[in-house]
Amino acid sequence: MKPASARHGGDQLPPVTDLRDWFCGAAGRAVAQREAALADELLQDLFGYHILQVGSAYPYPLIAASRIGHQIVMEATPLDAPVVVLGRGDALPFQPAAIDVLVLPHVLEFASDPHGVLREVERVLIPEGYLLLFGFNPWSLYGAWRLATGWRGRAPWHGHFLSLSRLKERLSVLGFEVDRSGGLSYRPPLRDPARLASLAWVERLGAHFWPFAGNAFWILARKRVLGARPIRMTRARQRRLRATGRVEPSVRRNELEPPDA
């Protein structure tokens, strides 16, 4: 394993604490809860030795529900929450083909080199390894909100939202095969929890009539390598990765649930 680095190098535009604060607000919490539920469902069926989450803007690890025993969370800046590895998304401090499953929640929108991050993801994943990616959709209410308020420089609206189709193309160029994808979250980013809850019916309507116009989207993709078989970790490599320890959730999800939700 390469030595972890705490240098930022402009990898993230907003401080991760700003994103975390937004995810703890009414609008961000509504998105986070839906993404966390989907991650729980998808990760239950993915197996291996090591699972990595790059970016920790969520108040809890998205990978906590995974059955994979060795769970790693990486962030570019030190936080109060437990983060096992400090490093940059475009220079992941891991050996090639070291990670079985990688979760990338809302990192590309705030990266100075999104394609560089994806190249690093491809490098550290084992052949046939899985990437679960979450992003904000520019063709949505959130995309319109970003156009109207991004000039204020507040997270997440000043990020660069990448479209689902564009990311699929980039993943294809890197040799990934998209297994599944979809949209979620269709309500406007209201700050009032009561008003946001009153629009819960919009979620069902949006999922039925315009599923790919959700405020956020997700992609589950698999790294394909022609003529290669999945690589099993050697015992020495397992020991090196296991030495980093295991991440435990810093905040339980039910602590973020609104009282009347």
93-123: per-residue pLDDT in tens?
A: 999 999 999 999 999 999 989 999 999 999 9
Write the DSSP symbol of residue 259. T
Dihedral of the alpha carbons of 133, 251, 27, 130, in degrees to the nearest 10: 10
Helix, strand and coil percent figures for the chain, each rounded to 5: 35, 20, 45
Instruction: Using a pLDDT cut of 70, give the percent of the chain over it.
Output: 77
Q: Residue 98 phi/psi, 5° resolution? A: -105, -20
**Nearest-angstrom CA–CA distance, 52 and 33:** 20
Amino acid at 10: G
Which sequence spans correspond to the domains of the chain? 16-249
Task: With a cut of 50, list the residues of the chain below it in pLDDT.
Answer: 1-14, 231, 244-261
Fold of 16-249: Rossmann fold (3.40.50)
